[in-house]
A and B are shown apart, each in its own frame.
Chain A
Amino acid sequence: MNLVSTFQDRTEPIQLICDFTPNNILLNVYGEAGIGKSRLLKEAKLKLQETSPAALVIIVNIETLAHITTDRPAVFLRQVIEQAEGRLNDQYENNDQLADAVVSQLNKFATDTPTYLMFDTTEALQDDVEFWDWVHLYVTEPLVVERRVRQVYAGRIPVPWRRFELRRAVKLLPLGPIAPVEASRALIEQVLLETNPTLKGAETLSQTIDIVLEFSFGHPQLSERLATYTAQHWPAAQPVEQFKKTLCEQEVKNFIDKTLFEGMDKLWIDILWWASVLDWFDPTILQQYIERVMPEMQGKPDYFFIREIARLRTHNTVVWREQRGDRLHGLIRNIVRRCLETMDIERYKHACLVAVETFESIALEFTEEESYAQLFKNEAATYRQRWQSLEEMTK
């Protein structure tokens, strides 16, 4: 597939990466899983190499360092050197010296050749402050000072920029779903037609776009996957509702488990599926809800939830909003919730009822503190209403 053709709406960020000015030397792209960060880096690399074949573009996938427990800087430097395809010398005694040498060679190389150092999936080592301190001290900052080598970081949330010089230099670029909706529709249409040209001019083209958009919420990677699947299986042999269900089972669910919830263990993937039903929660509410909906989770200590939710925040899977607590990242939550509702509406309804039960039981704990109990009664009423709508719809 021609990536450039399907990536037309990320022009601006690509341009930002490729545009080389001394004031735009350090960029940190961030956004939730699957939003297209990795693709953005690859796209930028293609574009750079297209316009300047000699350009040196090194992309280090930080995730590959995650399983390394000792001397991550050494492995990191090795990857940089390997990707430079012989253009960097690696004969030094220790990491610090080697880093100095790499930086010096990259700076030198960049005097006459566009040189880019990119880091992908930075969230994999988000908590390893020591590693980032080293990288920033020995690599990032010396390169920033010289302002020749362009550096791009990509991850679900920005890396911990603790050094002032770097904080001053870094530009943050949040990457959201493709917007506006027209852009998403255009992307989907393009993929649909490229995959199944017979759809061109078909009356149902608009319907297929709607179907894809209904489940992808404009998430580029998912949009593309769903568009491809839909194009391949259209016209559907089954009724549209059934097609949607199959689409979710075959594609959306996989995408959620493998991409949105990438790297998580099975238990937490299950928890997050259930959690998608909740508008807001916190570790305590989530715990109480999960214990009801997944009885096997009873007896898990609080810290199991506290720690993991804190971790999920650093991965931008869970976001925290003042006073209301946590929720799944908006886009992720919409995708998962819609998928669950479509695949198994009874399960979704059950989850709503359990939410009602959970909030009502919390309210009951505070019945004597009426004003506080009301907060939870209102929450319970919201979920009951949702359940009732679904109930009426399925009758």
Chain B
Amino acid sequence: MNILQLGKRIPLIGREKEIKLLEKYLLAPGSGRRYIYFWAHGGLGKTRLLEELEQMVEKAGARFYFSGNIDLYHTDMHSTSDLEKVIMEGLDRKKKYFIDYRQERQNYELLRERGADPGVLEERRQKLGELFVKGCNDMAVDAARLVICFDTIELLQYESSTVEEKAGLDIADTRVKPWLLDKLAQLRNVVVVFAGRPKLPTPGETVDPQARLVADMKKAFGDDFTEVELKPFAFAETCAFLKHFEEQAGQELVPEEYQKVVHRLTGGRPILLHLIVDWLTVLAPESRTILQLFDQYMDLTEVDEDEPRLEVARQDIERRILNTILNDSGEIGGYLTNIALMPKGVDAEILNAALGVPSEEANRLLESLKPLSFIKQYKSPPGVAPLRGEQLFLHDELYRLLTSQNVIPYLRMNERKIANTLVRDYYRSYIAKLEDQLKESYLEERAKESSSEERAEKSYLEQQRLLDREQLQKLQVERLYYMLVAAPQEGYAEYKRLTDQANRHRWVGFAMRLLDEFLRFYNSTMPDRRALFEEVGITNAKTVKESAWMWVERFEWWGQSERVIKLADQILAEPEDFSISCSDGSKICSNQEDLALMGNIYAFWTSSHAKKSGYNQQIIDRALVMLKSLPALIDCTTEQALARARLNTAIGYQRRLGGMLDQAAGYYIEAKAAFRQLGERLADCEDEYAQLLNNLAFVYAEQGRMALALPLVHEALRRNENRGSIYHTGLTLSTASRIACKRGNYARALEYGEEALKHFRDLEDVRGIALAHQDVALAKRLMAKHELEKGRNQEKARGMLDEARHALEQALQAVQNTSIASVTPELHAELGRVYRDFGHITKQTRSFEESVPYYHQAGDQFNLALQAWKQPEVVVVARADTLQDLAEVLFALGDRTAVEKTIAQIETSIGDDYLILPDQQKVPSKGLSVEYFSPLGKVEMLRGQLAWTDKRLEECVQHFIIAYAYFMHFSADAVEKATMLEYLYNHLSDESLSRQQALMETIRTWVAAHNFDVDVGPFVQALGDLLGI
């Protein structure tokens, strides 16, 4: 007998009903859909039935397509993205369908690799799901039937943990189960077969996981769903099974007098029968034991099923069969003990690394294992970048049996040793090599210029990097398992570290694989891993609360502000539900250890609120309570320091949006100090730090504090470039462009803007593209304005304005019909400014009449912007600025009434509290948002211009002094101060000396008599100095 035939594809024994059902569904007329869930306890032949299905599909004909048997056990199948790919490649081997999906997936992966905006990525990920369904349904039109098949689906039931259940996150579409239920339910002309075993509830799980899975399937698939329990062999089937092997072996294996007891005590479970057969025919141990195991139980052959001794005997037989396999199988037995401790599979290299087996010997061993029924050979399916060649796995039931029945002596010591060795001698070098490769590839790519040849090379490098990263992540997930085994604390820390990394980079698939791996490990009860965690101080409460935090983190990095808020609200409302202790009823935890965690949750909750709805004092108040609960920075743990850094950043961001630039800067500075306190940990959150530097630079620039803004933006730029984050580099370049504009360095601003544009184009990031176009347009408009003011080349200025207009029109076109239309008001406003400046040039160089259409166009754009701002209360400053621009245009058109009306509108929108009314001795209240003073300053400048037109010189200068006071409230370094001086100098310099002297005298007296709440003396002094009076 060829022993290689043993254990492998044997004729299907029994299962006639199931086969008939499959045939019926497979060959049914029409293009209906059917979903079948075969469930059974371990080792009852589910996989064998699926193998049979594959044969049936093959025989059915060319237009029947089979996905391949997708076994969720393997690392290749742990994310929705993996599954989409495997199903697609399995069904469409000739690559005739799924064209859109393939293209979009390639783009999506490239963009993610380049670090695109999380919101953009999330949108594209959702779109991919839709294209996948479309691809399947397109194919289904031409097909006789699509057949998709999943094995080991019990692993889906490990996806859920307390946190996921409580927070309703187990329905998140990034999880495999909800994805399957959602996407598969949309397919047509399909038979979907699931096979798995029921999972027992884990401690704390209130609903039977199996009942829940079935209920979810019924809900998703409705009447098209069928649930079938696979029963163990009947006695006749057991006999048929044994007969098959006896015929193969040419001899009797289990004598007739033993058949009944063997059937009874193995419970007709094929896996145990297989083990007996393997033992007798392949492993070749001596014979004294295996059948004799049954001798003492001969009297149980006919007893009732509920006889208590029967269960005891079954367990005893099961354990003894396993013992026999390990102990009496010669050399193989010795190795099997170790292979059972490597559930991520073995190949020659792994055996060499784990046990020191020389490769020749390892290959020989692997060959001798292959004939065994409980050995599975696995290769990555088509379309999946294989981690390695063929690997051998034990049947998953055998892993369970061997590690749960006290079969392996010193199990914990041995599994830990093997895990340690694999982590050290196998994974470390592979992972380090891939990490180096990725770094080098990135550096190489950055060095490439933009010739077409080099662009092709860049593209190749990017593709290669995608493959390398995929491999790296799979290896990291595998290694995580062994790290959890080797040292739960270190493994858990690594899980959190990798999850953080995956989330920050929007590697959704990787994040979900990590989560799966962790939950499967943590929820495994045989052996009891939770007990292991408890022993090393990782309590269930700790994992629950940290899991809750990690979900908040995921949503934050995936750019899903609403989900951050929703989940954080749940946690903050009932922290105890998530094992966070809050004894004082303040909903701020009382436990020192939890402070950091709560601080982080508050921080992301605060910034998400800011992103979603802008400034909100109530949110800030709550965040401040949390901030105050954290220890002083000097006394903080690293985690607490990070929470402080994030909270300060979030509050600073809120303040900035609220126009409180001074306060925003203050919180940002606190955040910077806290980040720096992190020491080495700063490297893990460098993206956040760079973003903070960027934000702080932006605030300083707004305040006109360029000396502070510049080094910060440069550092942010350097950090983002070094990290290889194209997206964040683009954002910082945009900030740098704005800063350069404010400094009057328009050429540099243009360079930064164009560079940002290139980055965002690479990322296909529409929002970024619009932003960069706006930067470019602003730089060009200001260059043009500069040219005009200097009285230089007016045609050149006109040309620049034309380019600015073109850039903005492109930006508007880009965002049209997208979900990021929120940027359009800014674009309209800027376009309005361009038209306004066109008007100015035309008026100056040609005629007023010719300029009028431009002013009208400017007015139209400003009105479009004003109408497009959905939440006027959130964008007070931007609206006020635009109204002020509109008033300026109306002024140019000579419509005084409209100007006054618009100005009144601005002041109303900002509020009386901010107003400086010298005649009424009214000054602004304390603690107001400084940003609001800027438009008021501009309003006063406009009033000054109006007064000038009417030749009311004193009044003109008085308005400018009030404007100065507003700008001083806004920022001591406000750039507008210089603009005002220049305006007044230009307009007053032609007046006679005596007129100037009288004017200055009047002004000085007026200033002395009024309160502006700030010292306007330096402005008056500067004006006097300029005029020489």
| Interface flag for A159 (CB, 8 Å) | yes
Q: A158-B288, A284-B417, A285-B410 are in contact. Are A306 and B334 (CB under 8 A)?
A: yes
Is A67 interfacial (CB 8 A cutoff)? no
- Interfacial chain B residues near A160, Cβ < 8 Å: 284-287
How many whole Å from B353's CB to the nearest CB in chain A?
Answer: 10
> Complex: how many Å from CA A325 to CA B414?
12
Chain B residues positioned under 8 Å from A372 (CB to CB): 412-413, 535
Contact A371 B409 (CB under 8 A): no
* Given A162-B287, A301-B356, A301-B357, also A362-B413 (CB < 8 A): yes
Docked Cα-Cα span, A160 to B327, in Å, equals: 14
Tell me if B1019 is interfacial: C-beta within 8 Å of chain A: no
Over the window 252-292 of chain B, the binary record of Cβ atoms lying under 8 Å from chain A Cβ atoms (1 yes, 0 no) is 11010000000000000000000000001100111110010
A-B contacts counted at CB < 8 A amount to 110
Q: Give the distance in Å from the alpha carbon of A303 to the alpha carbon of B361 in the complex.
A: 10
Taking CB atoms, residues of chain B closer than 8 Å to A370 are 535
Contact B409 A323 (CB under 8 A): yes
* Distance from A57 Cβ to chain B, minimum over Cβ atoms (Å): 25
| A362 smallest CB distance to B (angstroms) | 6
Interface residues of B in 314-330 (CB under 8 A from A): 319, 323, 327, 330
Binds B, one of A48-56, A163-171, A211-219: A163-171
**How far apart sit A270 and B366, CA to CA, in the bound complex (Å)?**
31
A282 lies within 8 A of chain B by Cβ: yes
Q: Is the CB of B280 within 8 A of A162?
A: yes
How far does the alpha carbon of A289 sit from the alpha carbon of B439 in the complex, in Å?
Answer: 43
Question: A170 to B288, alpha carbons, bound, how many Å?
Answer: 10
CA distance A126 to B286 in the complex (A): 9
Contact A369 B285 (CB under 8 A): no
Q: How far is the CA of A301 from the CA of B251 in the complex (A)?
A: 41
Q: Mark A340-371, 1 if CB is under 8 A from B, else 0.
A: 00000000000000000000001001101111
For B341-367 the 0/1 string (1 means CB < 8 A from A) is: 000000000010011111001000000
Question: Per a CB cutoff under 8 Å, which of B332, B333, B355, B537 touches A301?
Answer: B355
| Pair A282/B409 contact, Cβ less than 8 Å | yes
A309 to chain B, nearest CB (A): 6
Contact residues in A for B323 (Cβ distance below 8 Å): 322
Instruction: Choose one: B251, B334, B532; the contact of A283 (CB below 8 Å).
Output: B334
Q: Give the contacting residue for A313; candidates B253, B327, B338, B351; CB below 8 A.
A: B327
- Given A159-B286, A303-B355, decide whether A369 and B535 contact each other with a Cβ distance below 8 A: yes
Q: A271 at the A/B interface (Cβ < 8 Å)?
A: no
- B356 and A303: CB pair below 8 A? yes
Q: Verify A310–B409 contact, CB threshold 8 A.
A: no
CB < 8 Å: which of B319, B355, B532 contacts A306? B355
Tell me how far the C-beta of B333 lies from the nearest C-beta in chain A, rounded to whole angstroms: 6
A157 within 8 A of B: yes
A395 part of interface (Cβ distance < 8 Å): no
Say yes or no: A284-B331 contact (C-beta < 8 A), given A164-B255, A301-B356, A368-B535: no
Q: Given the complex of chains A and B, what is the CA–CA distance between A170 and B409 in angstroms?
A: 32
A281 to chain B, nearest CB (A): 9
- A127 at the A/B interface (Cβ < 8 Å)? yes
- The verdict on A158 contacting B327 (CB below 8 Å), with A165-B251, A368-B537, A372-B412 known, is no
Instruction: Point out the residues of chain A lying under 8 angstroms from B351, CB to CB.
Output: 303
CB distance from A393 to the nearest CB of B (A): 31
Asked whether, in the complex, the Cβ of B331 is within 8 Å of the Cβ of A369, the reply is: no
CB distance from A391 to the nearest CB of B (A): 28
Q: By DSSP majority rule, is chain B's interface helix, strand, loop, or mixed?
A: helix
Cβ distance B937 to chain A, nearest Cβ, rounded Å: 64
State which residues 284-305 of B face A: CB under 8 Å.
Answer: 284-288, 291
Write the nearest CB–CB distance from B424 to chain A, whole angstroms: 13
A167: chain B residues at CB < 8 Å are 287, 291
**Inter-chain contact A162/B281, CB cutoff 8 Å:** yes
The yes or no answer to A203 lying at the interface (CB within 8 A) is: no
Question: Are A310's CB and B333's CB within 8 A?
Answer: yes
Residues facing B in A296-324 (CB within 8 A) are 300-304, 306-307, 309-311, 313-314, 320, 322-324
The residue that B330 contacts in the complex, of A127, A158, A164, A365, with Cβ under 8 A, is: A127
In the assembled complex, the CB of B296 is this many whole angstroms from the nearest CB of chain A, namely 16
C-beta contact mask, B123-151 vs A, less than 8 Å → 1, else 0? Answer: 00000000000000000000000000000
Residues of A within 8 A of B288 (CB): 158, 172
Which residues of the other chain, A, contact B361 by a CB distance below 8 angstroms? 303
Q: What's the least CB distance linking B367 to chain A, in Å?
A: 14
Nearest chain-B residue to A133 (Cβ)? B284
| Residues 339-398 (chain B) with a chain A CB within 8 angstroms | 351, 354-358, 361
* Chain A residues positioned under 8 Å from B410 (CB to CB): 282, 284-285, 325
The answer for the CA separation of A370 and B531 in the assembled complex, in Å, is: 11
B31 an interface residue at 8 Å Cβ cutoff?
Answer: no
Task: Check A92 for interface membership: any CB of B closer than 8 A.
Answer: no
| Nearest A residue to B420, CB-CB | A365
* A268 touches B (CB below 8 Å): no
CB atoms of B489 and A161 under 8 A apart = no
In the complex, the chain B residue whose C-beta lies closest to that of A126 is B330
Residues on the B chain within 8 Å of A161, using CB? 286-287
The yes or no answer to A129 lying at the interface (CB within 8 A) is yes
Nearest-neighbour CB distance to chain B for A131, whole angstroms, equals: 11
Interface string of A130-167 (1 = CB under 8 A from B): 00000000000000000000000000011111111101
At the interface, yes or no: B536 with Cβ under 8 Å from chain A?
yes
The interface residues of chain A lying within 8 Å CB-to-CB of B332 are 310
Question: Nearest Cβ in chain B — how far from A284, in angstroms?
Answer: 5
Q: Chain A contacts of B287 at CB under 8 A?
A: 158, 160-162, 167, 170
Q: When the two chains form their complex, are residues B286 and A322 in contact, meaning their CB atoms are under 8 A apart? A: no
User: Once the chains bind, are B286 and A303 in contact (CB under 8 Å)?
Assistant: no
**Distance (Å) between the CB of A314 and the closest chain B CB?**
5
Is B406 an interface position by the 8 A CB rule?
yes
- Cα-based distance from A167 to B290 in the complex (angstroms): 11
A273-292 contact mask (Cβ, 8 Å, vs B): 1 or 0: 00000000011110000000
What are 23 A-B contacts defined by CB distance under 8 Å?
A126-B330, A158-B288, A159-B286, A160-B285, A160-B286, A160-B287, A161-B287, A162-B280, A167-B287, A282-B409, A282-B414, A284-B414, A306-B335, A306-B338, A313-B334, A322-B323, A322-B406, A324-B409, A325-B409, A362-B413, A365-B416, A366-B416, A369-B412
Given A158-B286, A284-B417, A301-B356; 5 other pairs, CB 8 A cutoff: A164-B251, A303-B357, A313-B333, A322-B319, A368-B537
Residues of A whose CB lies within 8 Å of any CB of B are 126-127, 129, 157-165, 167-168, 170, 172, 282-285, 300-304, 306-307, 309-311, 313-314, 320, 322-326, 362, 365-366, 368-372, 376
